[in-house]
Amino acid sequence: MRVTKTLTIIKPDDWHLHLRDGAMLEGVIGHSSRHFARAIIMPNLVPPVVTTSDAAAYRDRILAAKPKADFFKPLMTLYLTEQSDPNDIASGFENGLVSAVKLYPAGATTNSASGVKDFDKVMPVLQKMAEIGMPLCVHGEVTDASIDIFDREAVFIERVLDPLRKRVPDLRIIMEHVTTKNGVDYVTSSDKNLAATITTHHLIINRNAILAGGIRPHYYCLPVAKREEHRLALRAAATSGDKRFFIGTDSAPHIDDSKEHSCGCAGIYTSINTMSCLAHVFEQENALDKLEAFTSLNGPAYYNMPHNDDTITLIRHDEPITFPDKIDTGAGPVTVFDPMFPLHWEVQ
Ligand code: NCD
Ligand code: ZN
């Protein structure tokens, strides 16, 4: 195979990742630890990771499942509930065990039943976090059944996020997996304490991938992919170099039986081919020089962490490289995200 191009960048981090637990964790962790040095670990297990002692136990299970040869630091998050204890959360942050708190509006997505309904109840936690500089990761969708699912992010910004930022202006917020031009515009128009993660798949698919020519459950995730104009806004933001945007894959494995179902689960599995997909997207946008900012620099800067010391090298092959259609996990097969174009970039 003739190699035409290489690109060396500081080792990436994944600022939004679902690793699950047990056999699924063991089946997927190696794909993240191979390319990413650190990842913000989502707490939506059943039951959720709520307290610092839940987080310590989960971190230990992740470290035990990780391939021994890989350096990988799980950055733990706590699931915000109306009963969360501000002192427990603060102590977890201050001793370095916990990196952020995750806000799911109750019922917004997979395993979010314990999420927040009444924001007054979580004000003491949010105020404490603002005081100590602890970031809040937000799943930005309203859950009001009367709001069209394609509008839930835009309505969330208006009804929940903007009022929340006015109420606790010193709180550092990450709008997770932003999927709309509205979200991008809201982030770029804010002067401080707001950033956003963007997933791999939302840079690649629009809602046609899910719905046109047949219903394709492996492209269904939450927030659901939107119209093409939104995908284009996300690509412009990701490839701009703007420090407020960084990768959060939201790689969210579900076994095929739960996806290929009359009521299939939301979630797309991208850990294994994310770096190849991203290099492709950035090359298409003539922005390979901005890839490192998006995957390796902007995230740590916003989280007030140093960037990694290691590097990875991506190689562009003339011939397409292949990934498995599915990975086998002890929990069952998981379909890998298919970007619907040939991939040429490979992590060395
Ligand atoms: C996530 C999951 O499966 O845990 N699913 C998804 O579609 N992204 C939950 C989430 O992050 O919303
Ligand atoms: Zn997620």
pLDDT digits (tens, 9 = 90+) for 42-85: 999 999 999 999 999 999 999 999 999 999 999 999 999 999 99
108 CA closest ligand 1 atom index: 12
pLDDT tops 90 at residue 109: no
pLDDT band at 277 (very low <50, low <70, confident <90, very high): very high
Q: What angle do CA 325, 17, 157 make, to 5 degrees?
A: 115
104 CA closest ligand 1 atom index: 12
CA–centroid distance, 177 to ligand 2, in Å, is 7
User: What is the rounded CA–CA span in Å between residue 177 and residue 108?
Assistant: 13
CB-count burial class (<10 Å; 0-12, 13-18, 19+) for 311: exposed
Task: Kindly provide the b/e burial profile for residues 112-142, where b requires at least 16 CB atoms within 10 angstroms of the residue's own CB.
Answer: bebbbeebeebeebbebbbeeebbbbbbbbb
Q: What is the mean pLDDT of the chain?
A: 97
Q: Model's pTM, two decimal places?
A: 0.97
Mutate to test the pocket of ligand 1, among 103, 110, 142, 269 (most ligand atoms within 8 A of CB): 110
Residue 82: name the closest of 145, 124, 136, 142 by CA.
Answer: 124
What's the length of the chain? 348
User: What is the rounded CA–CA span in Å between residue 244 and residue 262?
Assistant: 38
pLDDT of residue 62: 98
Known catalytic residue at 170: no
Residue 253: name the closest of 346, 327, 203 by CA.
Answer: 327
Q: Let me know if domain 3-347 sits in CATH 3.90.1150.10.
A: no
Greatest CA separation found in the chain? 60
pLDDT tops 80 at residue 183: yes
- For residue 168 the two structure tokens come to 């606790």
User: What is the rounded CA–CA span in Å between residue 328 and residue 127?
Assistant: 44
Inter-residue contact 35 to 347 (CB < 8 Å): yes
Q: What angle do CA 274, 58, 102 make, to 5 degrees?
A: 65
The domain segmentation of the chain, as residue ranges, is 3-347
The pLDDT of 178-187, averaged and rounded, is: 98
Residue whose Cα lies nearest atom 6 of ligand 1: it is 267
pLDDT tops 70 at residue 3: no
CA–centroid distance, 187 to ligand 1, in Å, is 21
pLDDT tops 80 at residue 348: yes
Q: Which residues surround ligand 2, an ion (CB under 5 A)?
A: 250
Inter-residue contact 49 to 86 (CB < 8 Å): no
User: What is the rounded CA–CA span in Å between residue 188 and residue 106?
Assistant: 27
Residues with beta carbon inside 6 Å of ligand 1? Answer: 18, 44, 109-110, 139, 221-222, 250, 252, 266-267
Inter-residue contact 102 to 79 (CB < 8 Å): yes
The pLDDT of 211-237, averaged and rounded, is: 98
109 CA closest ligand 1 atom index: 12
Residues linked to residue 328 through DSSP beta bridges, in sequence order: 333
Q: Which of 21, 70, 250, 309 does the annotation list as catalytic?
A: 250
CA–centroid distance, 64 to ligand 2, in Å, is 22
User: What is the rounded CA–CA span in Å between residue 87 and residue 71?
Assistant: 31
CA–centroid distance, 88 to ligand 1, in Å, is 26
